[in-house]
A and B are shown apart, each in its own frame.
Chain A
């Protein structure tokens, strides 16, 4: 009762007033479909310098325990291009 926020929940299931009781819920909203330009990860140019992922506003550049970035999470990437701008090695190209 009154604990869901998903699109299929009925009025009896939805949280009242649309309140959101869980932190970090941005993950459940796929903002990838807002994207008009798409960043391409050029692995051979990447030096793993670490400048790109911490400027990403959407946490769309996954970094694992080895502290190395992987390819983009296109479900989350809005295509803002900030990462491409900060990359000194032409490892990200907006297309």
Chain B
């Protein structure tokens, strides 16, 4: 049995002075009002929750909606906004999109049951933020030189293809060098690393071919050094580009163990 509303749950966080005020003014997904749920014991861990219409967020509706890009984007951005606002004030464990409970009591039960595990994870994330690092190989780093005029069309084509392949190979070699430099920077400054799938498809709008898509957990005081080293990683390497995103709340490091195995 489900009521007319479900409890959409954004994050588990360390309670902090002022958090309640901030959350009270936050719009959540589906224009709902966010509030904090405490554990029964009133412990240090709280969850950010808002009531959402069951008609839109029950299992059948979610299955349908998650395939609709405009709906997905709206919910994702609203979810993200709540996470950012909380992350600006306290340590946060972001939950996966569309984590929905029957009601606040169920959320409270989960807080009661998992409080110690949450505290452990929150302690590990305190004072650390996530940075995204993506490497791209530029498909057309330098236009291939025109073939000599005396080649026939067939040989000219083959020559052209070979030059293109060489350029791409150069790009991948450069990307590997950049990746090694980033790895060295990460050894100095980052405390954890997660590899996401490379980005492809219509939403991957940046130019070039994405060859790595990684997230690093970096202590706040080392963020600048890490970022600078990552940006320098492509110095002197033609045909490869690095894009840094962040800082993010530690989305990629919220789960105690990584679900997605690092690529070999």
Q: Do A and B form a real pair?
A: no
